[in-house]
């Protein structure tokens, strides 16, 4: 008798979490689950996992490839513009355990689904059983409370990430909340961020913040100061329109804006740039950053300001570098997944428009 | 057909080791028409191809000149002409469906065709024949394992 073979797209419907997880292409390549190499010999030091359900995600964020109202089947769609192949969770856990020298961290990301929270615990425990590698939980704040955060910690996660994404309440409402026919609320996200900060400790909670969702630079700068004062990390992402989503036709932030936001964030967080040193125009966009030219030059030479923001490995070195996560390898770099080289520095300098920046 | 650690290398093709290209020569009157693609190891190293960009047919190119680029999810590389000549055709089906390069590297995934200026002279730089191909690919795969 011939075995019935399910078409791939139907078969993937049944490969749900917690038995299966989606793995970022970069992580799948690193673990040897998918072929391929990285442009400029970049490495991927964090294994990013995503829960998988037939509907994708019941939230409806206007920029997200997993949005409920995005046309097409969830399994055919991309997330952050690339495919996320599905693998058995235990296979991934084995691969992580056997390659601990190459894996700096694992990140388990929730979606909006009633199964998402218990499955996050289950997946986290499966990874922990096979490996001591640090684990981040990238949580859906809407589904959580303080008690659940404690259980996430007890399951083995040492860092919590929260996809705040929007830099202001108004942008949040329009892109993620009721304005987008989505379930998320700004206040709930902050409540969970602060609860997580209490439970996990200073700089062990991070909020993802996207540049390009319609916020002003003033919104971003205000948020950087606010997060710093609460000892919560800000991880910057460059919005990149995902085909088929409600924001598919919205252009990305110009590269000069992106570089200046990266630099300003770095100066605020690492060099204690005072608030009055940042000047905005009438539209709330960065006009001048009154920092010594020598300091800006030093930042360009050091390069860290222009790298990906991400969770660290067990030695404190940034692990979650998401190579080519928010731009194609053939395009100009947005966040560098490695320390920019000497050849990159003149490009960064030009993109920053250093001469005009200081005012 | 040579099968080396799971990778196929058809015997009738010529190979350009530095760029992992295959070439299929055909006599067309007084000229040699060469079909060019990426070999099995080359496509595997690239990863899943998502964009293919190529110059228009009719362009005269020198050996080593870029005629386009292949972009995978995490990698981009130029497509260099393995011979001097004139681009006679680019694979429109591949540009529309780049994954053909991964799925069918030796047939539907061909990249371009060119009329070679000096096939007999320039083919000296290429590899042909199972023994030579096997030696090259085995060494290449060994080096890749050591780099990992």
pLDDT at position B39 over 90? yes
Q: What is the mean pLDDT of residues A28-50?
A: 94
Asked whether residue A350 is domain-assigned, the answer is no
Interface test with A, best of B6, B72, B98 (most A CBs within 10 A): B72
* Predicted local distance difference test score (pLDDT) of residue A74: 56
Q: Going from the N-terminus, what domains does chain B have, and what CATH number goes with each?
A: 2-140 (2.40.50.100)
* Predicted local distance difference test score (pLDDT) of residue A91: 97
Asked whether residue A79 is domain-assigned, the answer is yes
Q: Where residue A8 falls among pLDDT bands split at 50, 70, 90?
A: low
Asked whether residue A274 is domain-assigned, the answer is no
The DSSP code sequence of A316-354 is: SSB----TTSSS-TTSPPSSBSS---TTTHHHHHHHHTH
Taking an 8 Å cut-off on Cβ atoms, the answer to whether A323 and B75 are in contact is: no
* Predicted local distance difference test score (pLDDT) of residue A83: 75
Taking an 8 Å cut-off on Cβ atoms, the answer to whether A25 and B48 are in contact is: yes
Nearest C-alpha of chain A: how many angstroms from B123? 29
pLDDT at position A262 over 90? yes
Query: A36 to chain B: which residues are within 8 Å by CB?
Result: 44-48, 72-75
Asked whether residue A142 is domain-assigned, the answer is yes
Taking an 8 Å cut-off on Cβ atoms, the answer to whether A42 and B74 are in contact is: yes
Q: What is the mean pLDDT of residues B20-24?
A: 98
Q: What is the mean pLDDT of residues B126-144?
A: 93
Asked whether residue A344 is domain-assigned, the answer is no
* For chain B, percent of residues with pLDDT exceeding 90: 93
pLDDT mean across residues, chain B = 95
Taking an 8 Å cut-off on Cβ atoms, the answer to whether A37 and B46 are in contact is: yes
Q: What is the mean pLDDT of residues B64-80?
A: 96
Asked whether residue A231 is domain-assigned, the answer is yes
The number of distinct structural domains making up chain A is: 1
pLDDT at position B34 over 90? yes
pLDDT tens digits along A209-237: 999 999 999 999 999 999 999 999 999 99
Taking an 8 Å cut-off on Cβ atoms, the answer to whether B76 and A34 are in contact is: no
pLDDT at position A7 over 60? no
Q: Where residue A354 falls among pLDDT bands split at 50, 70, 90?
A: confident
Q: Which residue of B has its CA nearest to A78?
A: B73
Nearest C-alpha of chain A: how many angstroms from B15? 20
pLDDT at position A3 over 70? no
pLDDT at position A14 over 60? yes
Structural domain of residue A122, as residue ranges? 8-253+317-331
pLDDT tens digits along A288-329: 999 999 999 999 999 999 999 999 999 999 999 999 999 999
Minimum mean pLDDT among A77-86, A128-137, A228-237: which range?
A77-86
Asked whether residue A299 is domain-assigned, the answer is no
Taking an 8 Å cut-off on Cβ atoms, the answer to whether A35 and B51 are in contact is: no
Residue A148: name the closest of A205, A192, A104 by CA. A192
Other beta carbons within 10 Å of A313: 17
Question: How many CB contacts within 8 angstroms connect chain A with chain B?
Answer: 53
Query: A25 to chain B: which residues are within 8 Å by CB?
Result: 47-48, 73-74
Of B44, B45, B75, Cβ closest to residue A329: B75
Taking an 8 Å cut-off on Cβ atoms, the answer to whether A29 and B47 are in contact is: yes
Q: Which residue of A has its CA nearest to B78?
A: A330
Pairing of strands B76-80, B127-128: unpaired
CA distance linking residue B135 with residue A40, whole number of Å: 27
Q: Where residue A2 falls among pLDDT bands split at 50, 70, 90?
A: very low
- The CATH number that applies at residue A129 is 3.20.20.70
Query: A29 to chain B: which residues are within 8 Å by CB?
Result: 47, 74
Q: What tokens were used for A136?
A: 């981040």
Q: Which residues of A touch B (CB under 8 A)?
A: 25-26, 29, 34-39, 42, 82-83, 323-324, 328-330
* Predicted local distance difference test score (pLDDT) of residue A80: 55
Asked whether residue A304 is domain-assigned, the answer is no
């Amino acid at each position: 008798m011939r075995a019935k073979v399910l078409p791939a797209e139907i078969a993937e419907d049944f490969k749900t979490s917690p038995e299966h997880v989606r793995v970022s292409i970069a992580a799948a390549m690193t673990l040897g689950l998918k072929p391929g190499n990285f442009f400029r010999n970049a490495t991927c030091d964090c294994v990013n996992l995503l829960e998988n359900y037939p509907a994708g995600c019941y939230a409806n964020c206007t920029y997200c490839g997993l949005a409920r109202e995005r046309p097409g089947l969830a399994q055919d769609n991309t997330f952050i513009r690339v495919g996320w192949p599905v693998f058995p969770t235990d296979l991934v856990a084995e691969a992580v355990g056997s390659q601990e020298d190459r894996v700096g961290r694992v990140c388990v990301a929730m979606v909006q689904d009633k199964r998402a929270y218990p499955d996050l615990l289950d997946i986290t425990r499966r990874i922990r059983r096979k490996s001591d590698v640090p684990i981040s939980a990238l949580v859906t704040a809407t589904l959580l409370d303080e008690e659940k955060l404690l259980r996430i910690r007890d399951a083995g996660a040492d860092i919590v990430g929260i996809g705040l994404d929007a830099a202001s309440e108004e942008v949040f409402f329009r892109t993620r909340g009721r304005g987008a026919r989505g379930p998320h609320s700004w206040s709930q996200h902050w409540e969970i961020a602060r609860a997580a900060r209490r439970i996990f400790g200073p700089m062990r909670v991070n909020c993802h913040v996207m540049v390009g969702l319609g916020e002003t630079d003033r919104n971003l700068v205000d948020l950087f100061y606010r997060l710093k004062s609460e000892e919560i990390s800000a991880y910057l992402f460059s919005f990149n329109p995902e085909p088929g989503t409600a924001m598919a036709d919205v252009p990305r932030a110009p590269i000069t804006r992106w570089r200046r936001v990266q630099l300003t964030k770095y100066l605020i967080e690492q060099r204690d740039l005072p608030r009055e040193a940042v000047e905005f125009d009438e539209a709330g966009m960065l006009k001048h950053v009154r920092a010594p030219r020598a300091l800006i030059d030093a930042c360009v030479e050091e390069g860290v300001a222009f790298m990906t923001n991400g969770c660290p490995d067990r030695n404190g070195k940034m692990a979650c570098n998401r190579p080519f996560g928010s731009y194609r390898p053939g395009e100009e770099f947005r966040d560098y997944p490695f320390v920019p080289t000497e050849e990159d520095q003149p490009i960064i300098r030009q993109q920053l428009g250093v001469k005009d920046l200081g005012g | 057909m040579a099968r080396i650690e799971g990778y196929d290398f058809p015997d009738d093709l010529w190979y350009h080791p530095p760029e992992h290209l295959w070439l299929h020569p055909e006599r067309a009157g007084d000229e040699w028409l060469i079909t060019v693609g990426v070999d099995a190891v080359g496509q595997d190293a690239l990863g899943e191809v998502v964009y293919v960009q190529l110059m228009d047919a009719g362009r005269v190119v020198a050996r080593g000149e870029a005629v386009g680029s292949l972009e995978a999810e995490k990698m981009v590389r130029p497509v260099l002409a393995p011979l001097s000549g004139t681009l006679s055709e680019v694979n429109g089906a591949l540009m529309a469906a780049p994954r053909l390069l991964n799925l069918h590297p030796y047939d539907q995934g061909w990249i371009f065709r060119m009329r070679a200026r000096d096939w007999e002279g320039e083919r000296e730089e290429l590899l042909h024949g199972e023994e030579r191909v096997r030696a090259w690919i085995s060494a290449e795969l060994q080096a890749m394992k050591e780099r990992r």
